[in-house]
Amino acid sequence: MLVTLTEVIDGVKGKECAIPAFNVFGYEDAAAVIAAAEQLGAPVILATNKVAIEHMPIQHLGKLLCSMAESASVPVCVHLDHGKDYETVAEAIMHGYSSVMYDGSQLPLAENIRTTQEIVKMAHACGIPVEAEIGSVGYSDPSMNVKACYTEPEEARTFAEETGVDALAVAVGSVHRMEEQTAEIQFDRLQAIQDLVETPLVIHGSTGITDEDVKRLVTFNVVKVNIGTAIRMAFGHTLREEMNRQPRQFDRITLFQRPMQAVQDAAVKKMKLLGLG
Catalytic residues: 81
Q: How many residues bind ligand G3H (CB under 6 A)?
A: 16
95 known member of a binding site: no
Confirm whether residue 79 is marked as ligand binding.
Answer: no
Nearer to Zn ion, 145 or 244 (CB): 145
Helix (H, G, I), strand (E, B) or coil at 75: coil
Any contact of residue 81 with ligand G3H (CB under 6 A)? Answer: yes
Minimum distance, C-beta of residue 154 to ligand G3H, in the bound complex (Å): 24
Alpha helices in the chain (DSSP H): 5-12, 27-40, 50-55, 58-71, 86-94, 109-125, 153-163, 187-196, 211-217, 229-245, 252-255, 257-273
- DSSP 8-state class, residue 218: T
Q: How far is the CB of 77 from ligand G3H (least distance, A)?
A: 14
Q: Using CB distances below 5 to 8 A depending on partner kind, what does residue 270 bind out of Zn ion, ligand G3H, none?
A: none
Q: Which residue's CB is nearer to Zn ion, number 217 or number 260?
A: 217
Comparing CB distances to ligand G3H, the nearer of 55 and 245 is: 55
173 belongs to the binding site for ligand G3H (CB under 6 A) = no
Q: Is 177 near ligand G3H (CB under 6 A)?
A: yes
Contact between residue 76 and residue 43 where contact means Cβ atoms under 8 Å apart: yes
Q: For residues 172 and 97, what is the distance between their CA atoms, to the nearest angstrom?
A: 28
**142: Cβ–Cβ under 8 A, 6 or more apart, which residues?**
none
- Contact between 232 and Zn ion by CB under 5 A: the answer reads no
98 interacts with ligand G3H by CB under 6 A = no
Signed CA dihedral, 165, 170, 176, 178: sign only: negative
Burial class of residue 55 in the structure, from the number of CB atoms within 10 Å of its CB (0-12 exposed, 13-18 middle, 19+ buried) = exposed
Among 204, 224, 232, 270, binds Zn ion (CB under 5 A): 204
Burial per residue of 6-21, b for 16 or more beta-carbon CB atoms within 10 angstroms, e otherwise = bbbbeebeeeebbbbb
Q: Find the binder of ligand G3H among 79, 176, 189, 270 (CB under 6 A).
A: 176
Nearer residue to Zn ion within complex by CB, 47 or 239: 47
Told to check if 224 binds Zn ion by CB under 5 A, we report no
> Measured between alpha carbons, how far is 54 from 75 in angstroms, rounded to an integer?
26
Under 8 Å between Cβ of 235 and 259:
yes
Is 103 one of the annotated binding-site residues? yes
Considering only residues 195 through 254, tell me which ones interact with ligand G3H, judged by CB under 6 A.
Answer: 204-208, 226-230
> Which spans of this chain sit near ligand G3H (rule: CB under 6 A)?
23, 81-82, 176-178, 204-208, 226-230
Numbered residues of the known binding site for Zn(2+): 82, 103, 133, 176, 204
> Which spans of this chain sit near Zn ion (rule: CB under 5 A)?
204, 226
